[in-house]
């Protein structure tokens, strides 16, 4: 099978497979393993300081000399309203007590939220070849600056309108994210109702609407879905959930176990953890927050508030008060090394006869 196409050429990779940037799950080891195997690893650095960003990049570079992407969160930095956050803090205390997860609440006045603009110098200095972004779009000066340094930009669309928007502002590669995808939705032009378009509908419509290469994301956990995405017009795929169970993943063992035992109907779209819509296996934290009918504060305020409770829950091996991001094909994910997961997808696609 000939894997060479416009996408592999632009990205200088052997196989058109991008490992999805999963903050809290993806590690430099995962990123390097995927890139070393001929795919494109993606290092998530959203919310990180410039120093931490550089540290993660350097760590990854010690593990691979192949290209990898760095993923930014392109949201604005919100102002914090103490009254609103105080009410949420009280609810979080109540929930943590109810489920026996002790934690120290974060003091929002002591937290510095970093903007992606503060990370750009590091990316340029480290000569990062590919920059992807989500949670909004990069501003025009940033796009021009990164392009001036020869960087390839990847943005995410959950609708045709967003794909066309990304193309018009000069983004080089567009990831079409189907509703099947685990983790956060990349929606940026719609408020309510959230676009919830299945990949088999979204992908051909996006491909027809833009000229740039399109990556397919959402539910691509086994070779059939990979091959189907290529038939639908994608030049490559972005794979997330399949790597959560990998050896190089930060996911705690009970999370990996729940993925493996999950059923197709087990995930929900939730705003409970970060205030932004994301897909994960339903758990008590989702149910508790859902009941409150919160007015969600701008990202990443709720994310910052829930961070210590999630970390405490993980330390206890408790999956009820932490994120269990998962796509709708999670049950097909396997527990192997990242390199083996990539290889089995590639070999699987090569074996499909049509």
Binding site residues, its own copies, CB under 8 A: 159-161, 178-180, 190, 193, 195-202, 204-205, 218-220, 222, 224-225, 227-233, 263-265, 268, 327-329, 331-332, 352, 354
* Least distance (Å) between residue 159 CB and its own copies: 5
* Least distance (Å) between residue 156 CB and its own copies: 15
* Least distance (Å) between residue 79 CB and its own copies: 30
* Least distance (Å) between residue 248 CB and its own copies: 24
- The whole-angstrom separation of Cα 260 and Cα 188 is 31
- The whole-angstrom separation of Cα 9 and Cα 15 is 10
Q: Closer to its own copies by CB, 85 or 175: give it.
A: 175
* Least distance (Å) between residue 6 CB and its own copies: 17
210's tokens: 């833009």
Q: Closer to its own copies by CB, 229 or 324: give it.
A: 229
Cβ contact 286:277 at 8 Å: no
Residue listed under structure tokens 């109907």:
265
* Least distance (Å) between residue 269 CB and its own copies: 8
327's tokens: 């796509």
* Least distance (Å) between residue 158 CB and its own copies: 9
Q: Closer to its own copies by CB, 31 or 330: give it.
A: 330
Q: Closer to its own copies by CB, 308 or 348: give it.
A: 348
Beta-bridge partners for 215: 175, 236
Q: Closer to its own copies by CB, 86 or 351: give it.
A: 351
Q: Closer to its own copies by CB, 46 or 240: give it.
A: 240
* Least distance (Å) between residue 271 CB and its own copies: 15
Q: Closer to its own copies by CB, 65 or 191: give it.
A: 191
Q: Closer to its own copies by CB, 114 or 226: give it.
A: 226
């Amino acid at each position: 099978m000939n894997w060479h196409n416009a996408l592999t050429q632009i990205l200088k990779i052997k196989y058109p497979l991008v490992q999805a940037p999963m903050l809290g799950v993806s590690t430099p080891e995962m990123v390097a393993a995927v890139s070393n195997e001929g795919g494109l690893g993606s290092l998530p650095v959203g919310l990180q300081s410039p120093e931490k960003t550089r540290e993660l990049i350097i760590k990854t570079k010690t593990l691979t000399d192949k290209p990898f992407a760095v993923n930014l969160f392109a949201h604005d930095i919100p102002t914090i309203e103490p009254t609103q956050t105080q009410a949420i803090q009280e609810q979080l205390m109540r929930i943590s007590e109810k489920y026996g997860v002790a934690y120290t609440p974060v003091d929002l006045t002591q937290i510095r939220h970093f903007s992606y603009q503060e990370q750009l110098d590091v990316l340029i200095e480290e000569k990062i070849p590919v920059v992807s972004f989500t949670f909004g779009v990069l501003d025009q000066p940033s796009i021009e600056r990164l392009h001036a340094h020869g960087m390839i930009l990847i943005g995410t669309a959950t609708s045709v309108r967003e794909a066309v928007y990304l193309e018009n502002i000069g983004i080089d590669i567009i990831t079409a994210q189907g509703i099947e995808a685990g983790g956060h939705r990349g929606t940026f032009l719609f408020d309510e109702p959230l676009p919830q378009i299945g990949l088999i509908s979204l992908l051909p419509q996006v491909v027809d609407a833009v000229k740039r290469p399109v990556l397919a994301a959402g539910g691509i956990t086994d070779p059939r879905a990979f091959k189907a995405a290529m038939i639908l017009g994608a030049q490559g795929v972005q794979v997330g959930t399949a790597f959560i169970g990998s050896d190089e993943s930060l996911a705690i063992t009970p999370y990996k176990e729940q993925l493996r035992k999950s059923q197709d109907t087990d995930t929900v779209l939730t705003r409970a953890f970060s205030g932004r819509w994301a897909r994960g296996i339903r758990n008590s934290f989702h149910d508790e927050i859902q009941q409150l009918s919160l007015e969600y504060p701008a990202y990443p305020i709720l994310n910052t508030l829930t961070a210590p409770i999630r970390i405490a829950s993980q330390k206890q091996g408790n999956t009820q008060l932490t994120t269990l991001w998962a796509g709708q094909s999670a049950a097909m994910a396997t527990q192997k090394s990242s390199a083996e997961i990539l290889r089995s997808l590639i070999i699987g696609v090569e074996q499909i006869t049509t």
